[in-house]
């Protein structure tokens, strides 16, 4: 069974105004004192109004779901004890004029010195899925095969339509925010592992990035774990949808791994087409046409059917077919979390939006 792990990022917000509050240290300390959370599972983020959780290595989706619910509830309880709430939104829908303080670490302070305005506006939360791979050379081949599907995951996971209290017109504004860093967006195609490592060294030597943590590609090799890390998704409003994405990403990696080991030719996906598909997915989510891996604009539902067809053998091997497909169908019926945020703001204003974000983040 191919292993999987998930990282989720959350905002800490005022329960009435939904404005980000810089209470990360207090909430992390309170969560770490609880009996059900290891302190290492709750980690600091760039800004002091954000926290990140990381599951242990998991072998099935029930295990992933159990850990995500456990961590969300523990973090939610710790936040309430400190007068705030956790919110799983890809962007902060509201923010103060003054920037949120940066977490006091050498790395984060260096990033602020490098790009102060980008850091001030980095009020974004993602979901990262780590999937085990046998070695780094094989992982590069897997990355190449994942590339055409990344925009589809961006569209499916869109949960960041709002910024400064207004609708940006984008389903995933987080994708646009992240795209402003020197190394970001869809990853390039690599000829082999040496090509990958050489190009990363060039980026480091140039000073454009200071460490490999600033390789903000939407999929990359992990430096910490023997995994491929897929990080194109907005954090998900509900934990069960996050579990669906964990299953979908693992199936995509397993499918890519099978094709890589069997010598199936890697699909052609020119960088400019992939970049256009990524922008289009961030703009529209599932509410309009969607570009398929061949670059054709089709109905979003048809593209999701192509994705399910591609990964069904892998889902069947892990017994995840029913769990994943049922939640994909729910997504098509109810829309993305971005659609839900927009409806809440339109129908009830900021108060209803705030209630949606707070309650759904810790919903069972």
In whole angstroms, give the CA distance from residue 23 to residue 101. Answer: 10
Structure tokens at 168: 């940006």
pLDDT of residue 298: 96
pLDDT of residue 54: 96
pLDDT of residue 22: 98
Q: Which CATH architecture has domain 4-361?
A: 2-Layer Sandwich (3.30)
pTM, two decimals, is 0.97
The answer to whether residues 324 and 244 touch, using CB atoms and an 8 Å cutoff, is yes
pLDDT of residue 36: 72
Beta bridge partners of 290: 298
The answer to whether residues 315 and 252 touch, using CB atoms and an 8 Å cutoff, is no
In whole angstroms, give the CA distance from residue 216 to residue 233. Answer: 12
pLDDT of residue 198: 98
pLDDT of residue 38: 79
pLDDT of residue 135: 95
Give 286: exposed, middle or buried? Use CB within 10 Å, 0-12, 13-18, 19+.
buried
Q: Which residues of the chain are under the pLDDT cut of 50?
A: none
Other beta carbons within 10 angstroms of residue 184's beta carbon come to 16
pLDDT of residue 69: 97
């Amino acid at each position: 069974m191919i292993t999987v792990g998930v990282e989720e990022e959350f905002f800490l917000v005022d329960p009435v105004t939904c404005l980000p509050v810089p209470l990360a240290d207090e909430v992390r300390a309170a969560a770490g004192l609880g009996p059900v959370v290891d302190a290492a599972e709750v980690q600091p983020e760039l800004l002091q109004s954000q926290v990140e959780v990381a599951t242990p290595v998991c072998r099935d989706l029930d295990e992933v779901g159990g850990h995500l619910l456990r961590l969300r509830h523990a973090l939610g309880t710790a936040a309430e004890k400190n007068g705030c709430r956790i919110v799983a939104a890809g962007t902060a829908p509201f923010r103060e004029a003054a920037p949120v303080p940066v977490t006091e670490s050498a790395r984060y302070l260096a990033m602020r010195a490098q790009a102060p305005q980008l850091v001030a506006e980095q009020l974004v939360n993602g979901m990262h899925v780590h999937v085990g791979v046998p070695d780094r050379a094989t992982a590069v081949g897997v990355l190449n095969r994942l590339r055409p599907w990344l925009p589809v995951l961006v569209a499916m996971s869109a949960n960041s339509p709002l910024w400064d209290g207004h609708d940006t017109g984008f389903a995933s504004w987080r994708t646009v925010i992240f795209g402003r860093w020197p190394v970001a967006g869809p990853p390039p195609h690599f000829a082999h592992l040496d090509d990958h490592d050489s190009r990363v060294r060039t980026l480091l030597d140039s000073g454009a990035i200071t460490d490999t943590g600033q390789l903000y590609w939407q999929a990359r090799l992990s430096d910490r774990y023997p995994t491929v890390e897929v990080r194109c998704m907005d954090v998900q409003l509900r934990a069960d949808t996050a579990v669906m994405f964990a299953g979908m990403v693992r199936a995509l990696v397993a499918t890519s791994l099978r094709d890589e080991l069997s010598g199936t030719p890697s699909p052609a996906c020119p960088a400019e087409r992939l970049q256009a598909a990524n922008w289009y997915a961030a703009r529209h989510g599932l509410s309009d046409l969607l570009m398929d891996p061949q670059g054709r604009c089709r109905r979003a539902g048809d593209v999701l059917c192509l994705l399910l067809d591609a990964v069904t053998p892998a889902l069947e091997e892990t017994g995840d077919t029913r769990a994943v497909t049922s939640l994909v169908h729910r997504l098509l019926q109810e829309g993305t979390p971005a659609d839900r945020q927009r409806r809440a703001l339109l129908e009830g204003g900021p108060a209803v939006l705030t209630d949606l974000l707070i309650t759904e983040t810790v919903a069972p």
